[in-house]
Structure 1
Amino acid sequence: MTTPPRSERHPVRIVHLGLGAFHRAHQAWYTQRANERGDRAGEAGWGIAAFTGRSPEAARVLAAQDAVYTLIERGPDTDAAIIVDALSTVADGGDTARWRAAVADPAVAVLTLTVTEAGYRPSAAALDADRASLATGDGASTAPGRLVDGLRARRAAGVGAIAVVSCDNLPDNGRVARDAVLGLAQDVDAELAEWIESSVSFVSSMVDRITPATTAADRATAARLTGYDDAAPVVTEPFSEWVLSGAFPAGRPAWETVGAQFVDDIEPYERRKLWLLNAGHSLLAYRGLLRGYATIAEAMGDDAIVADLEALWAEARTELPFDADTVDAAIAALRDRFGNARIEHRLAQIATDGSQKLGPRILDPLRSRLAAGRAPGDAQAGVLAAWALHLLGDDVRDPAAAPLAERLRAHPDDDAALATAVVTELAPDLAGDASLTDLIQSRIAHLRTGVTTEPPLPTGAH
């Protein structure tokens, strides 16, 4: 078998930062389908120049097969595969010259990002290093630094406006990106910051498509379905959603023709997704890992965990600005999606960087309940309790939480101290709420009784 044949590529009109599986299953897939429809007569297609965020490995592997890859949609019963060629070029994000040239290209109208929550909030040391390197004309290593560097090259080239589209699980992610970029640009070059304010639109978007890590078995499946050897296939669920809000001053693909929604107010959609899907994922991850499970579907087989998941959704639904039927439909879809055992969404992957994720997923709806005069949710407190116990474990993938984890391990059996430390770290504004810390303390004590290093027997097993 050979790799997929080289296709006629669309001209590069989009630059992307964060060449991971999710981008290839979501924005690249939407762009491919919009190109295939070709509803805008006489308009050239939209090719993507994609750059890696952290490791250059994805670019190396994809470049070897001309940036063409297989997308496998994995339903509850069967797999379906398509060949995706929306990526016209791929490159190491650390290739400063190539990055600058791509962003400065006058044909490029859109710059998209998938850098995860942590990418918008690099460490102070990393930002200091970027300030120093940008001041001397060198490149940058953080996501905000690379954006500033690329936009500076675009301004120097005399090229016009561009839209920056954030595609991460952060509320109002376009504003978050704007604040991060403008803050750094102001430190480096005040005139550049002024140009960015006048010439760059920051678009917020809500993205949704479960995309687990690819395995060797998935590569074999791709070869079986397509007849091609693919070193970098992507596996994803059939469901997808993309809601965007903001201006595109230089144009964009016709994403709306293939299911994307463009709205004036994105906040309700962000809340629905963060407080139902993402919050549910966090509950399943931290509770499931404590019980010895490895995947979302495994955790969904535990009646006690599912009962807490349903309670979490009930606590969030009172805070959502949608009618009951809309919320019911969203929750019903999540039950089906989470129960799809053929999507092996790893709990350890979801649990990564909880210190960045739990604020918008758990604490924001909890604050909304408190502001409305309602009590903090028992299931919401349970997620924070499970995270506290998770930080006492050996496999914690959350560099920002390392100092907190060290403090917790100094008194691992003091439930009250654990609860207070977690609230103080994640939500100092709520640290004085005794009802919340007491509830978390109670949930920690409850969870300790059910923690195991091996999964319990399935229902009906002997």
Structure 2
Amino acid sequence: MSIDLQPEDAGKAEPAVELPRLNRSLRPSAKAPVRIVHLGLGAFHRSHQAWYTHQAGDAADWGIAAFTGRRPDAALALAEQDGLYTVVERADAGDSFTVVSSIVEAVDGADVQRLAELLAAPATAVVTLTITEAAYRLGADGQLDRKAHDVVADLALLASGDGQPATPLGRLVLALAARRAAGAGPLAVVCCDNLSNNGTVAHNAVTGMAGAWDADLADWIDANISFVSTSVDRITPRTTEADIAAVQAACGYRDNSPVVAEPFSNWVLSGEFPAGRPQWEDAGAVFVADIEPYENRKLWLLNGAHSLLAYAGQLRGHATVAQALADPLCLRAVESFWDEAEANLSGTEGTADLQIPEYRRALLARFSNARIAHHLAQIAMDGSTKLRMRAVPVLQAERAAGRSGAAAALMIAAWMDYSAAAAELQDPLASQVAEANHLSGTDRIRALLALVDPNLAGDAAVVALVEDLCGTFGERAVSP
């Protein structure tokens, strides 16, 4: 539907009407019992995992207790509405609105005691994670980086037994220790972050943190906790004041926490659920034995293109994905990268059902949806981590096949240019990036490349390729 935010008779001064706040009495919805705990309460979780749970046929049996990350704001706002919020599906033809009721408890992530209580409860069967790629704190060897400053701090707090961990990993490990002490049995941890083989990533991060604190706890986790790998997909831009106003005008209630998303959604899962799970397949989720082809399709074609557009687009003066895709230079770069990625997806056994040409066409349509204001600055965050999954595997595969990998290398070059031009870089390695950018010429390229992949930094031909591609999109100053 189209929404007109102007009153019918703008010439008359009418008294303001106070609309009711969205809550469970306004939208009758009994609270389901908490059986899922989520870490990383944000817009994507609410448009994706919580939405799938709301759509499940047995949704009445599966309530979510969702914990925030760095700030309590989202929990405080949702608590005012009994956990209810509106998902706005924004298509070219108009908007549709769904009130989602699966979140039954919204909690400040700093409330580690409540997290431990919930994980110690036998009814809790699933933990889902959207904590961002950088939060897993893995080193180049795929294991927990025990020297990371926040990991060191959390391990000290865990060892002292007197304090609350600050990272999602530390908090989850402490809560799993409570579950072991309570004898509450096994459960599944479901990683929903954009990482290749993300179930293994979550396992290595959690057991790495646990093992550094208590080896017996790490052994118990290995024996009792299943780590499920997933591929998640739904474009979910930041909510704006205009979005809040649009919901109010269309729905007749006040919602302080609506989420805007594209109509498309996808969720592929692989792994065991020893204590049960919702019937997510009712909402279209797919369960497979081998998730790697689906992960790579999404990480390379969707996320890879997003990263390329984020850096190239901002260097070209664009603000959103749709604007960048309309730029012929950016579009050609995306198409070239997709050609490289497809060459390495199509040769994988068992990928006939990936329908890559159709997937590419669908992505062009999704990216071109100008009504979804997906901001490039949001996508550009944490580039040093994201490029390891989105550009590096394609570049390595292309080089191994005797090809240049220039399109994948161009993504890395664009990130390098962006890192030098951005007023403030939001990246877990921001200080190291800044140090590298103080170098010049080949030394700078090699130092930046080493932060993404040390092996590539040791390949003189790759360093020369990336250096030659720098400046492709210009060097216009950008703001994050």
TM-score (norm 1): 0.93
Give 1:338's match in structure 2, choosing from 339, 343, 367: 367
Describe how 1:205-354 pairs up with structure 2 within 5 A.
205-320=230-345, 321=348, 322-323=351-352, 326-354=355-383
Q: Distance in 1 between matches of 2:23 and 2:82?
A: 9
Per the TM alignment, residue 3 of structure 1 is displaced from its structure 2 partner at its CA by: 1.6
After superposition, the C-alpha distances for 1:44-80 in whole angstroms (9 at most, x for unaligned) are 5200000011111110111111111010001123111
Give 2:434's match in structure 1, choosing from 388, 405, 424: 405
Q: Distance in 1 between matches of 2:472 and 2:100?
A: 48
Question: Which residue in the other structure is 1:374 paired with?
Answer: 402
Question: Which residue in the other structure is 1:459 paired with?
Answer: none
Cα contact 1:308–1:379 (8 A) shared by 2: yes
Cα contact 2:235–2:262 (8 A) shared by 1: yes
Question: What amino acid is aligned across from residue 432 of structure 2 in structure 1?
Answer: P
Question: Which residue in the other structure is 1:458 paired with?
Answer: none
Question: Which residue in the other structure is 1:24 paired with?
Answer: 46
Out of 87-96 and 417-426, give the one that drifted further.
417-426
Question: What amino acid is aligned across from residue 419 of structure 2 in structure 1?
Answer: L
Cα contact 2:438–2:444 (8 A) shared by 1: no
What is the DSSP-based 3-state SS (H/G/I as helix, E as strand, rest coil) of the residue aligned with 1:206?
strand
Per the TM alignment, residue 5 of structure 1 is displaced from its structure 2 partner at its CA by: 3.3
Cα contact 1:101–1:153 (8 A) shared by 2: yes
1:11 aligns with 2:33: yes
Give 1:65's match in structure 2, choosing from 81, 96, 103: 81
Question: Which residue in the other structure is 1:384 paired with?
Answer: 412
Q: Distance in 1 between matches of 2:47 and 2:453?
A: 34
Question: What amino acid is aligned across from residue 340 of structure 2 in structure 1?
Answer: E
Cα contact 1:166–1:173 (8 A) shared by 2: yes
Question: Which residue in the other structure is 2:151 paired with?
Answer: 127
Q: Distance in 2 between matches of 1:12 and 1:368?
A: 44
Per the TM alignment, residue 179 of structure 1 is displaced from its structure 2 partner at its CA by: 0.8
Cα contact 2:39–2:128 (8 A) shared by 1: yes
1:161 aligns with 2:186: yes
After superposition, the C-alpha distances for 1:156-194 in whole angstroms (9 at most, x for unaligned) are 111011100000000111111111111111121222112
After superposition, the C-alpha distances for 1:262-293 in whole angstroms (9 at most, x for unaligned) are 11111110000011000000110000110111
Question: What amino acid is aligned across from residue 343 of structure 2 in structure 1?
Answer: T
Q: Distance in 1 between matches of 2:113 and 2:93?
A: 46
What is the DSSP-based 3-state SS (H/G/I as helix, E as strand, rest coil) of the residue aligned with 2:245?
helix
Per the TM alignment, residue 323 of structure 1 is displaced from its structure 2 partner at its CA by: 4.2
Q: Name segments (4+ residues, structure 1) moved above 4 Å.
A: none
Q: Distance in 2 between matches of 1:232 and 1:419?
A: 42
Cα contact 2:394–2:405 (8 A) shared by 1: no
After superposition, the C-alpha distances for 1:191-240 in whole angstroms (9 at most, x for unaligned) are 21121111111111110001000000000111122111111110000011
Out of 317-326 and 124-133, give the one that drifted further.
317-326
What is the DSSP-based 3-state SS (H/G/I as helix, E as strand, rest coil) of the residue aligned with 2:470?
helix
TM-score (norm 2): 0.89
Give 2:70's match in structure 1, choosing from 19, 35, 54: 54
Q: Distance in 2 between matches of 1:256 and 1:188?
A: 38
Describe how 1:34-45 pairs up with structure 2 within 5 A.
34=56, 37-38=57-58, 45=61
Gaps of 5+ in 1: 455-462
Cα contact 1:144–1:177 (8 A) shared by 2: no
Q: Distance in 1 between matches of 2:60 and 2:91?
A: 33
Give 2:450's match in structure 1, choosing from 417, 421, 424: 424
Per the TM alignment, residue 9 of structure 1 is displaced from its structure 2 partner at its CA by: 0.8
Q: Distance in 2 between matches of 1:390 and 1:380?
A: 16
Out of 9-18 and 181-190, give the one that drifted further.
181-190
Gaps of 5+ in 2: 1-18, 138-144
Question: Which residue in the other structure is 1:442 paired with?
Answer: 468
1:86 aligns with 2:112: no
Cα contact 2:414–2:472 (8 A) shared by 1: no
Cα contact 2:414–2:471 (8 A) shared by 1: no
Per the TM alignment, residue 440 of structure 1 is displaced from its structure 2 partner at its CA by: 1.1
Question: What is the number of equivalent residue pairs in this alignment?
Answer: 442
Per the TM alignment, residue 424 of structure 1 is displaced from its structure 2 partner at its CA by: 2.2
Q: Considering only aligned residues, what root-mean-square deviation do their CA atoms show, in Å?
A: 1.6
- Percent sequence identity over matched residues? 50
Question: What amino acid is aligned across from residue 4 of structure 1 in structure 2?
Answer: L
What is the DSSP-based 3-state SS (H/G/I as helix, E as strand, rest coil) of the residue aligned with 2:149?
helix
Cα contact 1:388–1:418 (8 A) shared by 2: no
After superposition, the C-alpha distances for 1:324-362 in whole angstroms (9 at most, x for unaligned) are 981101100100010000000010000000011001000
